[in-house]
């Protein structure tokens, strides 16, 4: 990937003398951004542009070309790529549109590009993108018009949309925050976000990475890359509405809509998700400051009202306002002009006009071992003390950078003064209100305190998969959509998932024998492949407490089976020991098309349908991660025991989650899996799965 950003020679293909020619903008940018390498122009009509000759083809250039930026009609690309290969050009940026973004009928053209690239060992970005920028060497290939008003900074950007990426660059310029590298990846037919992210995380000039993605190429690779990262990763994942229109066939399907899986996956690997330009800029500002390594905050303001607002914001984001030392407060109070303000944290310095003392207060406070960061509000109107106020902004910046602790500085002033301060201090973020500043500090704090659990930390168990694979193969040969309950239970038993005692009965006498063996009361259920939700058709009977009820129950369920239209029918009835105590919990799994197997947990029975109170993780999950999942559920307090009820056996429940996690990874043929309910018995007595459903591909 490095060769995309550090070429010594660039050929711009598609240039003509026409004033409406878009490829000319690429040439303009290379000159505007002061590219340090050599530039060659290519276009069939020849001529010149900006004192550079236009060669009719790439083959007419005698020099070796490291990077080709192409902007020509889509239909010309196969021929041009072939010429690039013959010229031994190994890196290409295809900015042309007119491919699969217009429809599937263009996929053949895309496949031609992939085939030619593979033939010659070419890596390419695009098509349908605006190219790359490297502020370190002036490489700039966008055809979208920019002026080089950008500073060099520690942020690098990967954007699937050229428009969104370009808009972010403009906003960074407005904030006087620089960037290091930029890549618009468009259709990402060859090079995708994972390729570039891996490079940028090892790039010396990059300290923070921002991603704008409309689709994720390989979710598991993205997560593994983020796990290994020591740099913050921010992501705006758009294109979210399609998931809400999907209708799932089971609880797991409806609860694991792709949006929620993306949220879970990003949290799991500490990618900070943003949703719009404002949240993006706030997150970028958060990581442009030194890290907030703890939760102890000091608030200082030149406005009493803003001090109150800042205190509210600090409380909202969970900060602790550390008390100031008594002798320090006395010193400050002795130097106030009127002495009419009571000092504390937050500290209202509206009565202070000694700007050197203000600087001293900030400096001494930030140096304290019990302070992790500061929120400072500098309020002035640009009429009185404007020079002192501007100077104070610079001094606060120095204190922040030298102390290696964050100072979120709110400059509340006129537009003219705001712009002046921003221009005087590039790459130092400023805020317009305490709420935004506190939120930024919370982003930094949460990143520093993140808990990252790699897939590799998940425990694995020895399992003989012959029987599960045979069951799935047999069901697949019949094109079954789901397994019977009995077959599902057999797979769970292979993975040592504890089940309530169960058996099958093909007549009423056998049902009675099963019930006697298990001990009354029992439950009875239909279990054929045609029953998606057994209770919806009256196919679940509970608390059958004597022989007559068991016989009658068998005949009732057999009649339900006979009235179903599906074939073949599963004639057997499931008889199961009735579990009357414990908490009902749900554990599920789903094969997500982007992230692979995903695990879900929540309260079971009807609660999962009504409240949707579910925690999610991309599998496999460790025991520690499974425990955290149950801690996220709002109803988890019930499992800990309330109003005299004993706590549930969470250790046994975690064991089930681990086993289901491995099952989902081992058997991707199982598209959806519901264990609902699982009866969680009092601590030390384990858990029992009462019902299960497996949807297969």
pLDDT surpasses 80 at 476:
yes
pLDDT digits (tens, 9 = 90+) for 533-557: 777 788 899 999 999 999 999 999 9
Q: Which segments of 396-519 are extended strands (E)?
A: 407-412, 502-505
Q: Would the pLDDT of 255 be above 90? A: no
Three-state DSSP at 577 gives strand
Given CATH 3.40.50.261, say whether it is the number of domain 286-448. Answer: yes
**Mean pLDDT score of the chain:** 90
Q: Do the domains 2-222 and 286-448 sit in the same CATH topology, yes or no?
A: yes
In the CATH hierarchy, which top-level class contains the domain 501-578? alpha beta
- pLDDT exceeds cutoff 80 at 249: no
Q: Are 347 and 306 in contact (CB under 8 A)?
A: no
Give the separation between CA 3 and CA 122, rounded to whole angstroms. 11
Exposure string (b/e) for 276-308, b if CB count within 10 Å is 16 or more?
eeebbbbbbbbbbbbbbbbbbbbbbbbbeebbe
Give the DSSP letter of residue 185.
-
- Report angle CA 312, 313, 314 to the nearest 5 degrees: 90
* pLDDT confidence band for 381 (50 / 70 / 90): confident
Report pLDDT for 637. Answer: 75
Q: Are 646 and 548 in contact (CB under 8 A)?
A: no
CA distances in angstroms from 632 to 351, 561, 637, listed in the order given: 46, 40, 10
Mean pLDDT for 142-147 is 91
| pLDDT digit string, tens, across residues 390-440 | 999 999 999 999 999 999 999 988 888 888 988 889 999 999 999 999 999
Q: What pLDDT does 456 receive?
A: 74
pLDDT tens, residue by residue, 556-587: 999 888 887 555 566 789 999 999 888 899 99
Is domain 453-500+581-697 classified as CATH 3.40.50.620?
no
Classify residue 544 by its DSSP letter: E
Q: Which CATH class is domain 2-222?
A: alpha beta
Q: What is the DSSP string of 280-336?
A: HHHHHHHHHSPP--SSEEEEEESSHHHHHHHHHHHHHTT-EEPPPPHHHHHHHHHT-
Domain boundary assignment for the chain:
2-222, 286-448, 453-500+581-697, 501-578
Residue 385 confidence class, pLDDT cut points 50, 70, 90? confident
Mean of the pLDDT values across residues 242-264? 55
State how beta strands 687-689 and 670-680 pair: antiparallel
Cis peptide before 346 (omega within 30 of 0): yes
Kindly report the length of the chain. Answer: 697
Looking at residue 257, its pLDDT comes to 47
Largest CA distance in the chain: 99
Query: How much of the chain, in percent, has pLDDT values that exceed 70?
Result: 94
Tell me what the mean pLDDT of segment 277-306 comes to: 95
Cα(561)–Cα(375) distance, integer angstroms: 68
Distance, in Å, from the CA atom of 93 to the CA atom of 29, rounded to the nearest integer, reads 15
The C-alpha atoms of residue 53 and residue 38 are separated, in whole angstroms, by 13
Strand partners, 696: 670
User: Which pLDDT value is given to residue 568?
Assistant: 53
- Token code pair at residue 240: 């979210």
Which is more confident, 91 or 145? 91
pLDDT in tens, 29-78: 999 999 999 999 999 988 889 989 999 999 999 999 999 999 999 999 99
C-alpha triplet 248, 252, 254: angle, nearest 5°: 35
User: Is the N-terminal amide bond of 677 cis, ω within 30° of 0?
Assistant: yes
Better pLDDT: 333 or 521: 521
Instruction: Determine the average pLDDT of the residues in 150-173.
Output: 95
pTM: predicted TM-score of the whole model, two decimal places: 0.90
Mean pLDDT calculated for residue range 488-494: 96
pLDDT at 248: 34
User: Do 89 and 66 meet the contact criterion of CB atoms below 8 Å apart?
Assistant: yes
């Amino acid at each position: 990937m490095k060769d995309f950003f550090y070429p010594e020679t660039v050929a711009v293909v598609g240039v003509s003398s026409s004033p409406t020619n878009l490829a000319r903008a690429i040439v303009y940018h290379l000159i505007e951004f002061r590219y340090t390498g050599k530039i060659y122009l290519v276009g069939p009509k020849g001529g010149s542009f900006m004192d550079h000759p236009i060669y009719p083809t790439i083959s007419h250039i005698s020099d070796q070309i490291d990077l080709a930026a192409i902007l020509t009609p889509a239909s010309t690309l196969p021929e041009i790529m072939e010429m690039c290969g013959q010229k031994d050009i190994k890196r290409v940026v295809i900015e042309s549109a007119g491919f699969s973004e217009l429809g599937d009928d263009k996929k053949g053209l895309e496949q031609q590009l992939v085939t030619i690239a593979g033939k010659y060992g070419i890596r390419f970005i695009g098509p349908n993108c605006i190219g790359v920028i490297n502020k370190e060497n002036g490489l700039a290939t966008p055809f979208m018009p920019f002026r080089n008003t950008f500073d060099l900074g520690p942020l690098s950007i990967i954007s699937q949309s050229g428009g969104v990426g370009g808009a972010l660059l403009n906003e960074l310029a407005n904030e006087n925050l620089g960037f290091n590298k930029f890549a618009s990846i468009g259709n990402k037919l060859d090079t995708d976000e994972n390729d570039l992210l891996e490079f940028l995380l090892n790039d010396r000039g990059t300290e923070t990475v921002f991603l704008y993605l409309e689709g994720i190429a390989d979710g598991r690779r993205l997560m593994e890359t983020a796990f290994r990262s020591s740099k913050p990763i921010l992501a705006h994942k758009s294109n979210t509405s399609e998931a809400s229109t999907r209708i799932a066939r089971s609880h797991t399907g409806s609860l694991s809509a792709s949006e929620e899986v993306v949220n879970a996956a990003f949290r799991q690997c500490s990618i900070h998700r943003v949703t719009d330009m404002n949240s993006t800029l706030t997150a970028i500002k958060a990581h442009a400051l030194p890290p907030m390594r703890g939760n102890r905050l000091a608030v200082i303001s030149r406005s009493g009202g803003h001090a109150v607002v800042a205190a509210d914001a600090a409380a909202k984001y969970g900060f602790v306002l550390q008390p100031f030392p008594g002798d320090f407060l006395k010193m400050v109070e002795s130097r106030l002009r009127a002495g009419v303000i009571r000092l504390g944290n937050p500290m209202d310095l509206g009565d202070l006009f000694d700007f050197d003392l203000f600087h001293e207060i900030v400096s001494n406070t930030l140096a304290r071992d019990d302070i992790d960061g500061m929120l400072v509000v500098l309020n002035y109107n640009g009429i009185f003390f404007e020079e002192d106020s501007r100077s104070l902004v610079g001094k606060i910046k120095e204190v922040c950078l030298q102390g290696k602790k964050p100072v979120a500085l709110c400059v509340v002033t006129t537009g003219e003064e705001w712009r002046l301060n921003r221009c005087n201090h590039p790459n130092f973020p400023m805020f317009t209100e305490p709420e935004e500043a506190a939120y930024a500090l919370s982003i930094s704090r949460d990143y520093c305190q993140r808990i990252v659990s790699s897939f590799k930390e998940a425990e694995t168990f020895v399992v003989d998969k012959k029987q599960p694979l045979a069951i799935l193969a047999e069901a697949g040969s019949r094109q079954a959509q789901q397994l019977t309950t009995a077959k599902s239970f057999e797979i769970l038993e292979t993975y040592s998932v504890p089940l309530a005692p169960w058996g099958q009965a093909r007549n009423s006498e056998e049902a009675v024998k099963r019930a006697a063996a298990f001990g009354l009361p029992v439950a009875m259920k239909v279990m054929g492949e045609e029953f998606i939700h057994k209770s919806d058709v009256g196919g679940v009977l509970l608390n059958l407490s004597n022989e007559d009820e068991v016989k009658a129950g068998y005949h009732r369920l057999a009649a339900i089976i006979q009235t179903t239209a599906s074939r073949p029918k599963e004639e057997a009835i499931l008889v199961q020991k009735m579990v009357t105590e414990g908490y009902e919990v749900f554990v599920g799994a789903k094969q997500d098309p982007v992230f692979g197997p995903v695990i879900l947990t929540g309260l079971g029975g009807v609660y999962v349908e009504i409240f949707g109170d579910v925690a999610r993780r991309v599998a496999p999950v460790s025991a520690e991660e499974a425990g955290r999942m149950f801690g996220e559920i709002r109803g988890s307090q019930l499992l800990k025991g309330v109003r005299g009820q004993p706590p549930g056996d969470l250790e046994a429940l975690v064991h089930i989650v681990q086993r289901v996690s491995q099952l989902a990874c081992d058997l991707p043929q199982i598209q959806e899996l519901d264990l609902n309910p699982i009866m969680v018995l009092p601590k030390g007595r384990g858990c029992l799965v009462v019902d299960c459903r497996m949807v297969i591909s």
